[in-house]
Amino acid sequence: MIRELKFLLSLWKTNLAAAMEYRATFITQSLGMILNDGVYFLVWVIFFDRFKDVRGWELADMFIVFGIAASAFGLVGMLFGNAFNLSEIITGGRLDYYLSLPRPTLLHALASRVVPSGFGDFLYGFISYAASGQFTWDGLARFVLAVLLAAAVFTAFLIIVQSLTFWMGTGGTFTMLAINAMLTFALYPITLFNQAARVVLFLVVPAAFMGAVPAGFVKAFSWSTLGLMTLAAAGFLAAAILLFHLGLRRYESGSAIQTEV
Amino acid sequence: MPAIEVTSLSKTFRTKRKAAGLGASLRSLVRPEFRTIEAVRGLSFEMEPGELLGFIGPNGAGKSTTIKILTGILFPSGGEAKVLGYVPWKQRRQLAYHIGTVFGQRPQLWYHLPAIDTLTLFGKIYELDDRQTKRRIAELAEAFEIEDLLETPVRKLSLGQRMRCEVAASLLHKPKLLLLDEPSIGLDVVAKQHIRDAIRTMAAQENVGVLLTSHDAGDLEALCKRVIIINHGQIVYQDKVSALKRSFLTSKLVEVRYAQQVGADFRIAGTETLKVAKERYGVKLRFDARITPVGKVMAALSAAGTLVDITISDPPLEEVIAAIYQKAENRE
């Protein structure tokens, strides 16, 4: 465990060095994303200004939900940037590189890229929480924990969806759809959905674990919510790792020319 | 214990078959048709520790697939293999500590970073301590003459320079076996020579076994003692490189230049005239040394006029290998 952590730290350091080769791009993308998130959220500000609340869901809740989703999304991009293009890595035969080195293939592949705009998203999430009007210091600690667990569920979901590439042969469009579904549903007030739809949001596209559930936890501590989030993170991660390794047996490599950036 | 032991190894891929056009694309969406490609068919061979073995074959012969199975990248469809005592697809990580790999088409060095950064990261990946890594990098930099290149971003290196850094990186953890898949692909003659020399020197110094795939016979001649030639996933020939030359390089090529013009119908008994130069001073001939002794041909050439220059050579190895492929195709 410590060995893998040391390896991850070196990998992240190398990643950051690679991203810093283009410092201006890095800074522009990060700042650009903060602006982008802000403008996107403006729609909700206007919406709640008109309707005040949607079945008990208020603007303050939106600030927290948006904060968790943005920070979790950004964190995945910062630490496991390849989670967004695992499918391309599989179809392009680029797993060869990770498979020829003595490290856990999935972890190595995921952590080998940093998405510069992820830093912007990550930071914006905290700004959003601070602006919610419900900021407290212990709330912040819960926010950090909620972001970590939401990021774990999101990473697992991305791995599960893209591992299907081993069976389907391609998966690019499917991945985009899955990412969009996850974000859209995570950002909608959960009070809008009926029981059946909520089952989907908890189990099929686990958006509830990236939005409503962690937001509730940030607002008020509860052992049962924390337990549910931890269980979801562990369960989805276990399923993701299992599916990826089952798929690996079907991996076909390829002869496309690749570079490790 | 052999370094590599392969028995009846096979690998099949299933690919979708689709005729040209949109109609066929729609049909294939509803009822996809698949066909099976046998990339490797019942391959068996052994390689001794420290041996320099060449794996030669045309594009699509199954060379890369075999190497990928032997490194644990691909699961085989059948058969057995052990590399340094490990079953690659079951003990991939343990094996990876003891082998080095270079895929000519798959650079391992990070594109935007200087090679030194990737080498340092590899030190962490292989769990070497920092002092060990630094010392080893210095050793390799000297052997591969890359001291001045280490701090330049890889994207700014020439292909030849990059490949030298790639091979150096694959040797960082002192592997016992080096698996090189087309290490000289795309390189010019000088860069090829450079990289072959460095591999030969390092392999000899550190007693590293080298399994090299290539479709360039020059790599084989320069680096390998033994050769396995495969085509359509099967071994069509395996022996020492010297034996390959002895049994297939039976004909000799002679180029002579005379002080005076020769006749346009220049002939020497027991040889075949390939070409008489336009200005009629030079002649190119071929003969089978087993039938017509070299001495006899030399004497006859000398008697035909005053010799200015003479060269006797073997045909290039490429031709020999092409003849072996052809023979195997005809048998099928």
Question: Do B288 and B251 form a contact (C-beta atoms < 8 A)?
Answer: yes
Nearest to B200 by CA among B267, B239, B162, B143: B143
CB B198 within 8 A of CB B49: no
Q: Which of A10, A22, A253 sits opposite B73 (nearest CB)?
A: A253
Whether A70 has a pLDDT exceeding 60, the answer reads yes
In a domain, B19, yes or no: no
For residues B164 and B140, is the Cβ–Cβ distance under 8 A? no
Task: Find the CB nearest B106 among A11, A21, A258.
Answer: A258
Q: Are residues B182 and B297 in the same domain?
A: no
Query: Is residue B283 a part of any domain in this protein?
Result: yes
Give residue for tokens 């040209």.
Answer: B20
Residue B83 lies in a domain: yes
Rounded Cα distance, A166 and A86, in Å: 11
Condensed to tens digits (0 to 9), the pLDDT of residues A34-59 reads: 999 989 888 888 888 888 787 778 88
Q: Do the domain assignments include residue B13?
A: no
pLDDT at A200: 81
- B101 interface with A at CB cutoff 8 Å: yes
Nearest residue to B294 via CA among B311, B309, B277, B278: B311
Statement to judge: residues B160 and B179 lie in one domain: yes
Tens digits of pLDDT across chain B (332 residues)? 899 999 999 999 877 777 777 777 777 777 777 788 889 999 999 999 999 999 888 777 888 899 999 999 999 999 999 999 999 999 999 999 999 999 877 888 998 899 999 999 999 999 999 999 999 999 999 988 999 999 999 999 998 899 999 999 999 999 999 999 888 888 888 888 888 888 898 889 999 999 998 877 778 888 899 999 888 888 988 889 888 877 776 788 899 999 999 988 899 989 999 999 989 999 999 898 888 888 999 999 999 999 999 998 877 667 777 777 777 777 66
Q: Are B78 and B224 within one domain?
A: yes
d(CA A172, CA A101): 26
> Which segments of chain B are extended strands (E)?
4-17, 33-47, 52-56, 78-83, 99-103, 177-181, 209-214, 226-231, 234-240, 251-258, 272-276, 282-288, 307-313
Torsion of CA B322, B327, B329, B332, to 10 degrees: -170
A258 has pLDDT over 60:
no
Residue B261 lies in a domain: yes
Shortest CA distance to A86 belongs to which of A152, A141, A162?
A162
Looking at the structure, do residues B261 and B295 belong to the same domain, yes or no?
yes
CB contact under 8 Å between A253 and B107, yes or no, is no
Specify whether B56 is located in the same domain as B168.
yes
8 A C-beta contact, residue B100 and residue B171: yes
Mean per-residue pLDDT of chain A:
90
Q: Tell me, yes or no, whether B102 lies in a domain.
A: yes
Give pLDDT, residue B228.
92
Q: What is the pLDDT of residue B289?
A: 82
Answer whether residue B328 is part of any domain: no
Domain of B281?
250-313
| Shortest Cα–Cα distance, B194 to chain A (Å) | 23
pLDDT at A121 over 90: yes
For residue B70, the domain's CATH number is 3.40.50.300
Q: A259 to chain B: nearest residue by CA?
A: B107
Backbone angles phi, psi at B19, to 5 degrees: -75, 170
**Contact state of B108 with A97 under an 8 Å Cβ cutoff:** yes
Six-digit token string for B18: 């689709």
Look at A96 and B125 and tell me if their CB atoms are within 8 Å: no
B128 and B276 co-located in one domain:
no
Chain A residues whose C-beta is within 8 A of a chain B C-beta are 3, 6-7, 10-11, 14, 17-18, 21-22, 93-97, 99-104, 169, 249, 251-253, 255-261
Q: Output the pLDDT for position B281.
A: 93
Q: Are residues B216 and B68 in the same domain?
A: yes
Among the partner-chain residues A22, A96, A252, the one whose CB lies closest to the CB of B106 is A96
Given this model, what pLDDT does residue A104 score? 94
B93 interfacial to chain A (CB closer than 8 Å): yes
- Are B162 and B225 part of one and the same domain? yes
Q: Which of A129, A149, A141, A122 is nearest to A208 (CA)?
A: A149
Closest-CA residue of chain B to A92? B106
Q: Flag if B126 and A249 touch (Cβ within 8 Å).
A: no
Q: Is the ipTM of this complex over 0.90?
A: no
Q: Identify the pLDDT of residue A15.
A: 87
Domain limits of chain A? Answer: 17-248
Q: What is the DSSP string of B107-137?
A: --SBTTSBHHHHHHHHHHHTT--HHHHHHHH
Same domain, B274 and B186: no
Residue B190 and residue B286: Cα distance in Å, rounded? Answer: 30
Going by pLDDT thresholds of 50, 70 and 90, the confidence category of residue A255 is: low
Facing A259 at nearest CB: one of B64, B107, B127: B107
Q: Which of B189, B224, B246 is the last residue of a domain?
A: B246
> Which tops the pLDDT comparison, A184 or B324?
A184
Instruction: Give residue A2's pLDDT band: very low, low, confident or very high (50, 70, 90).
Output: confident
Number of domains in chain B: 2
Question: Given this model, what pLDDT does residue B169 score?
Answer: 94
* pLDDT (0 to 100) of residue B26: 75
**What backbone torsions phi and psi does residue A216 show, to the nearest 5 degrees?**
-60, -40
Q: What is the pLDDT of residue A63?
A: 92
Same domain, B239 and B166: yes
Closest-CA distance, B50 to chain A, in angstroms, reads: 21
More confident residue, B316 or A235: A235
**Residue keyed to tokens 């499918």:** A87
Q: Which residues of B132-149 are buried (b: 16+ CB within 10 A; e: fewer)?
A: ebeebbebbbebbebeeb
Q: Locate B152 and state its tokens.
A: 């330049």
Say if residue B79 is in the same domain as residue B98.
Answer: yes
B209 and B147 fall within a common domain: yes
The mean pLDDT value for A136-150 works out to 96
Cβ-proximal residues to B30 (8 Å cutoff; 6+ apart), any chain: none
Cβ neighbours for A197, distance < 8 A, ≥ 6 positions apart: none
DSSP B34-92: EEEEEEEEEEEEEE-TT-EEEEE--TTSSHHHHHHHHTTSS--SEEEEEETTB-TTTSH
Q: Which residues between 147 and 176 in chain B have a beta carbon less than 8 angstroms from any beta carbon of chain A? A: 153
Residues 247-286 of B with CB under 8 A from A: none
Is the residue at B323 inside a domain?
A: no
